[in-house]
């Protein structure tokens, strides 16, 4: 039997187009991952110096590429970490990875005795990979491998760094980067100009999630180690926020624009301007809320706080706390009220940072450089523990919503 020529052509075309268009059938709902929080405040000043070193590194990485920046303080490890468990390879090895919005590579092997394991799904590449963070760095080789994100969902071919060496990571096996894909440029050698699709990109491109976005929920904690967060790939979890999510476009101001950067202004109380509208970033890898040094001076005067030499944090008296006003973060016309209690370091954890149990420390700290530099604030965990956040790659925007904890008095 001969197939009419036209029909054969259209059949071929159908398949050719089908392959080219890679028709992805999305039949999965958003994927929820449980996040685990761990504190490791080991020395006085660790928290503030860690955050400042990270801020410095983020600014430098954006300007100069992926280079290590000399940091004069010894930073041994992350102060607060949120981790998720994922499986790599076939059969999968389970790794506990730090969730990081400020970087985009995913890698394993930070822990001694738990290196990357070759398996039947390992596809070696010819690249080395290296990433520097404010709090450490890693060097290794790049493989493509199966990455199991939840019991029923696996990415078939994910670029993964297999660490040969790493510095500054204790208690985690590596990093799961949820930053923008552009941050992977310059991390591969010799393929220095290439970017590698992030985990979120691949989940979306392989039809495993319905949207290229991530929703994050962190609740405030008062215990050292607890399961209290959730990351949603491909959507948001309406049971974790109240009201509606408002979005703000990713800023065009560099270097904040390379990260999850937004334009935002900050006010204290009814009328004290702390920071007029400027660019900064939203970052899970920063513990505190950092604001440019001039804004920090205004906040210090407004609250009457003094810098505590032992912890490196601002400290206020009970009388000053009684008068402490809310901070108002305004972005794209929407204002988020950050209560007085939200501005406190959790008092039950005071002694862990070398502080005095009965003192009142504040989580607003000095970024270490004046405003006008294109990255003038960092909304870190302290902010994200009060507002649900959405990192929307497809629409280049960041969303926030209030949660049951926005006005909680847990601190």
In the complex, least distance from residue 178 CB atom to ligand NAG, rounded to whole angstroms: 21
Smallest distance, ligand NAG to C-beta of residue 86, A: 19
Q: Which is nearer to ligand NAG, 2 or 309 (CB)?
A: 309
CA–CA separation, 275 vs 270, rounded Å? 14
Nearest distance in Å: CB 323, ligand NAG: 22
Q: What is the spatial distance between Cα 309 and Cα 136, in angstroms, rounded to a whole number?
A: 25
Least gap, CB of 171 to ligand NAG (angstroms) = 3
Q: Does 246 bind ligand NAG (CB under 6 A)?
A: no
Give the active site residue among 51, 145, 201, 283: 283
The residue count for binding ligand NAG (CB under 6 A) is 14
Query: Using the rule CB under 6 A, is 337 a contact of ligand NAG?
Result: no
Compute CA distances 269 → 53, 274, 294, 299, whole Å.
30, 10, 18, 11
Single out the residue of 302, 411, 316 nearest to residue 359, CA to CA.
316
201 included as an active-site residue: no
How far is residue 204's CA from residue 347's CA, in Å, rounded to a whole number? 41
Instruction: Give the integer Cα–Cα distance in Å for 29 and 32.
Output: 9
Our CB check for ligand NAG shows the closer of 278 and 403 to be 278
Member of 28, 30, 32, 42 binding ligand NAG (CB under 6 A):
42
Binding status of residue 40 toward ligand NAG by CB under 6 A: yes
- The encoded tokens of residue 189 equal 């050698």
CB of 360 vs ligand NAG, minimal distance in Å:
15
Minimum separation from the CB atom of position 76 to ligand NAG (A): 4
**Measuring CA to CA, how many Å separate 253 from each of 62, 250, 258, 279, 374?**
12, 9, 9, 6, 6
Q: Looking at beta carbons, which residue is closest to ligand NAG?
A: 171
Residues in region 263-282 near ligand NAG by CB under 6 A: 263, 279
Active site residue 283: yes
- 170 makes contact with ligand NAG (CB under 6 A): yes
From the list 16-24, 109-117, 251-259, 312-320, the region that binds ligand NAG by CB under 6 A is 251-259
In the complex with ligand NAG, the residue whose CB is nearer, 76 or 90, is 76
Is residue 252 close enough to count as binding ligand NAG by CB under 6 A? yes
Q: Which is nearer to ligand NAG, 93 or 251 (CB)?
A: 251
Supply the minimum distance, in Å, between the C-beta of residue 13 and ligand NAG. 42
- Residue 85 CA to residue 148 CA, distance in Å, equals 9
Q: Should residue 251 be labelled a site residue for ligand NAG when binding is judged by CB under 6 A?
A: yes
**Which of residues 40 and 90 has its CB atom nearest to ligand NAG in the complex?**
40
Of the residues 51, 100, 308, 376, which is catalytic? 100
Site for ligand NAG in 272-331 (CB under 6 A): 279, 309
- Residue nearer to ligand NAG on the CB measure, 168 or 186: 168
Near ligand NAG by CB under 6 A: residue from 92, 210, 249, 354: 249
Only one of the segments 82-90, 115-123, 214-222, 244-252 lies at the binding site for ligand NAG (rule: CB under 6 A); that segment is 244-252
Q: Tell me the closest approach of the beta carbon of residue 308 to ligand NAG, in angstroms.
A: 8
Which position among 171, 207, 210, 235 is part of the footprint of ligand NAG (CB under 6 A)?
Answer: 171
Report the residue from 253, 339, 395, 407 that binds ligand NAG according to the rule CB under 6 A.
253
By annotation, the residues acting in catalysis are 100, 283
Residues in contact with ligand NAG by CB under 6 A are 38, 40, 42, 76-77, 170-171, 249, 251-253, 263, 279, 309
């Amino acid at each position: 039997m001969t197939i009419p020529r036209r029909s054969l052509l259209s059949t071929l075309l159908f398949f050719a187009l089908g392959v080219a268009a890679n028709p992805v059938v999305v039949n999965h709902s958003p994927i929820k991952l449980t996040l685990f929080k761990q504190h490791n405040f080991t020395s006085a000043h660790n928290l503030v110096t860690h955050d400042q070193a990270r801020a410095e590194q983020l600014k430098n990485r954006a300007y100069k590429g992926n280079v290590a920046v000399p940091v004069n303080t010894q930073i041994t490890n992350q102060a607060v970490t949120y981790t998720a468990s994922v499986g790599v390879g076939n059969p999968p090895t389970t790794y506990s990875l730090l969730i990081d919005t400020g970087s985009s590579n995913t890698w394993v092997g930070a822990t001694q005795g738990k290196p990357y394991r070759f398996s039947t799904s390992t596809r070696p590449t010819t690249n080395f990979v290296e990433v520097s963070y404010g709090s450490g760095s890693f060097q290794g080789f790049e493989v493509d491998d199966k990455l199991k994100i939840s019991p029923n969902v696996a990415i078939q071919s994910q670029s993964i760094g297999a660490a040969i060496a790493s510095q500054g990571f204790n208690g985690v096996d590596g990093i799961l980067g949820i930053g923008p894909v552009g941050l992977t440029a310059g991390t591969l050698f010799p393929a220095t100009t290439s970017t590698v699709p992030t985990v979120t990109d691949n989940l979306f491109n392989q039809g495993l999630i319905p949207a290229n976005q991530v929703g994050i929920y962190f609740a405030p904690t008062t215990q050292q180690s607890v399961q209290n967060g959730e990351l949603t790939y491909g959507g948001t979890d309406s049971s974790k926020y109240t009201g509606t999510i408002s979005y703000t476009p990713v800023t065009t101001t560099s270097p904040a624009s390379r990260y999850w950067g937004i334009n935002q202004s900050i006010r204290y109380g009814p009328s004290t301007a702390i920071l007029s509208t400027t660019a900064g970033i939203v970052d899970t890898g920063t513990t505190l809320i950092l604001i440019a040094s001039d804004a920090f001076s205004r906040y210090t005067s407004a609250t009457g706080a003094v810098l505590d030499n032992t912890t490196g944090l601002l400290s206020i008296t009970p009388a000053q706390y009684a008068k402490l006003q809310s901070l108002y973060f305004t972005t794209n016309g929407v204002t988020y009220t950050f209560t007085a209690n939200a501005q406190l370091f959790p008092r039950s954890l005071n002694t862990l940072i070398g502080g005095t149990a009965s003192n009142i420390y504040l989580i607003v700290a000095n970024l270490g450089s004046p405003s006008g530099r294109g990255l003038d604030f960092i909304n870190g965990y302290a902010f994200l523990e009060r507002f649900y956040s959405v990192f929307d790659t497809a629409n280049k925007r960041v969303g926030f919503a209030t949660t049951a904890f926005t006005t909680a008095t847990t601190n």
